[in-house]
Structure 1
Amino acid sequence: MADLGTAVEQCVRQHTRCLQPPCSDPGDLPDIELPRAKELSPIEARIRERHAIVHALLDQGHGIREIARELHMGGNTVRRSARAATPEELLGSRRQPRPSQLDPYKPYLDKRWVEGHTNAVHLHAELKELGYRGNYQTISNYLRPRRRRRIRVFGPAPPGLRQVTGWIMHHPDRLSESEGKRLAEVLTRCPELAAAHRLIRSFAEILSTRTGQHLKAWVVRARAEELPGVHSFAAGLEKDWDAVVQGLTSHWNSGPVEGRVNHIKMVKRQMFGRAKLPLLRKRGLLTAAR
């Protein structure tokens, strides 16, 4: 079963994109309105925008670390925004913005914005014709707070590779309700993993019911799927076919022998290098006599 688990893990690794749940547009945050750009400096605009975004995500139940990771911000920065009830607490006693070359042209930009001209590149070209000597970035910074920003709502983290492998390998009855639901979502998004899940369940049935005569049909079905990991597992079965079929059919097996070997190895490890043959023999015989 260890080899089968490795084969399943290889299949899951090849389809890791299926583990990520799709984002749905209806879950987007509502548009965030910011104060008029002419009332704000670029720094103040960024602070207000950041405060609005952080509090919107906090209202949805996301944690500080999760928000920091998603927005590529420092944890302390997010905490300061979260603790501030209003943007003014973050702004404090900030000095007034310095005069800029754009100040005489701001009324013109306001007028053009109201008329529906929001492309900063085009507006920069228009201002240059009017005598503006500044750069494009100044115009872009002035207009940025006016734009509404839609924030992508990020859902829970996708399940891990080994987590999904464990779900597929376990019997459905041994999974919790949430695990079964998440596994079903993954299998719905990925037909290949759904096929792997069906093969695992049918192989487990052959193993538990000792119907080794059905193994040949199982191998045929496995090779019909586009699952290289399962193909490798099937090839391993075919290399020692008679022994595998016998092991899946007869109630006789080497389980007790393997158990004794593992027990002796454990005893040897417990003695921290002092397990010379005479002492190991005595301990082995004593435990076997129990």
Structure 2
Amino acid sequence: MHDLLDQGVGVLDCARRLGLALNTVRRYARASEPDQLRRPPYYRACSVDLYRDHLRQRCADQLGVPVLHLFHQIKALGYTGSLNLLHKYLNQGRAENDRITPSPRRLTSWIMSRPTDLPSGRRAHPNELVVSCPEMTDLARLVGEFASILGERRGSDLDGCMRQVREAGLTELEPFLRGLDQDHDAAVAGLTVPYSNGPIEGVNTKNQADQTTNVRAVSFELLRHRILLT
């Protein structure tokens, strides 16, 4: 595909020549290396997850160990699932030691989520990835700090959090910091006082919708009464 693109062939023409969907061609065109196209499969939590370390250790100690032996071993440890579920778990490679690096979007969603909302396995994996990079360690810590300021309405601590971001050298967050600087007083007030203009904006939107749909069907006086009664 990249050979065709280098020859000046358009993306749509590439899709036709290769027999692929246009979105697939666009996704491949954005990737400079095949590894960038790898995405970690998403698996739901199951009862085998509790015995993952044991299965991994047994498979490492004894190559080709029968699945039935593993089934009886974890059954003795309290496993309540079926043999078929264990077969599927092992065939998917979920007991292997190596893990595929998640996409930036998925890692971002993990960092932006409350740790208590993530399953234990999902909580451990992002922690391993974040610890391996000092910038990501600072980012995860500062995101958690900002979330606590937002949830606990500690607007007085906003300046300190912004200062820590700049000291950490996280230039990717500079546009966000500039936005906070431009509306500094409003941001501090929004993170401090319990009041919000959300209800007012909602009423205004409803009134505008009523006016748009009923301006030709009702008189001004009737529309005025409806707004006042609402």
User: TM-score, normalised to structure 1's length?
Assistant: 0.40
User: TM-score, normalised to structure 2's length?
Assistant: 0.49
Q: Tell me which of the two structures has the higher relative contact order, counting C-alpha pairs closer than 8 angstroms and 6 or more residues apart.
A: 1
Larger Rg, first or second structure (1 or 2): 1
